């Protein structure tokens, strides 16, 4: 039930930027609610895979379901943080710290291991973010 409510909340929060979407490139896909949902699902799948692989590299035994829950919680945390504090460094720092607390609790690990996982996930997500939009060529 919590996962369903979380997905609905994230979907609603992801529709907020639609008023600011520009009709060029990938922004055209985001200009429609269906496009926003498709991009949300794709990013959630990619985040889940990255979290799953990184936690396996760190020796965690949890499965893909835990990685999915971690990705959902991360999305909710960052959405709320950016909604409350705007698109700023403060929002990133607060969102990152809260997600670090969630990661630590979900995987029952220490602060240092949670921080290491978070840093590797961030690096991997950044690299995928550079490659994924251009994988099919310009939109």
Give residue-wise pLDDT tens across range 16-70: 444 444 444 444 445 567 777 777 788 888 889 999 999 999 988 888 999 999 9
Average pLDDT in the 96-109 region?
A: 90
Q: Where does residue 110 fall: left (phi above 0), alpha (psi -120 to 50 degrees), or beta otherwise? A: beta
Q: Looking at the domain assignment, is residue 130 inside a domain? A: yes
Which residue segment(s) compose the domain that 96 sits in? Answer: 2-134
The CA distance from 132 to 67, in Å, is: 20
Please give the structure tokens belonging to residue 105: 């609790």
C-alpha distances in Å from residue 98, one per residue of 3, 20, 39: 18, 27, 24
pLDDT of 64? 92
Comparing 139 with 88, which gets the higher pLDDT? 88
pLDDT of 134? 54
Output the pTM of the full model.
0.69
C-alpha distances in Å from residue 124, one per residue of 6, 43, 131: 24, 13, 11
Q: Looking at the domain assignment, is residue 117 inside a domain? A: yes
- Residue 95: is its pLDDT beyond 50? yes
Give the orientation angle of helix 111-131 with respect to helix 89-107, to 10 degrees: 120
Q: Looking at the domain assignment, is residue 22 inside a domain? A: yes
Q: Looking at the domain assignment, is residue 139 inside a domain? A: no
Q: Looking at the domain assignment, is residue 114 inside a domain? A: yes
Please give the structure tokens belonging to residue 51: 């979290």
Total count of domains within the chain:
1
């Amino acid at each position: 039930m919590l996962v369903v409510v979380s997905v609905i909340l994230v979907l609603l929060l992801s529709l907020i930027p639609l008023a600011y979407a520009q009709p060029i490139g990938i922004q055209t896909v985001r200009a429609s609610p269906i496009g926003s949902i498709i991009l949300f699902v794709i990013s959630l799948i990619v985040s889940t895979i990255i979290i799953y692989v990184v936690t396996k590299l760190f020796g965690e035994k949890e499965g893909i379901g835990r990685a999915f829950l971690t990705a959902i919680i991360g999305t909710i945390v960052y959405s709320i943080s950016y909604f409350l504090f705007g698109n700023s460094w403060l929002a990133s720092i607060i969102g990152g710290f809260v997600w670090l607390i969630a990661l630590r609790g979900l995987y029952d690990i220490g602060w240092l291991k949670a921080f290491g996982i978070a840093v590797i996930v961030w690096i991997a997500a950044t690299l995928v973010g550079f490659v994924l939009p251009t994988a099919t060529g310009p939109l």
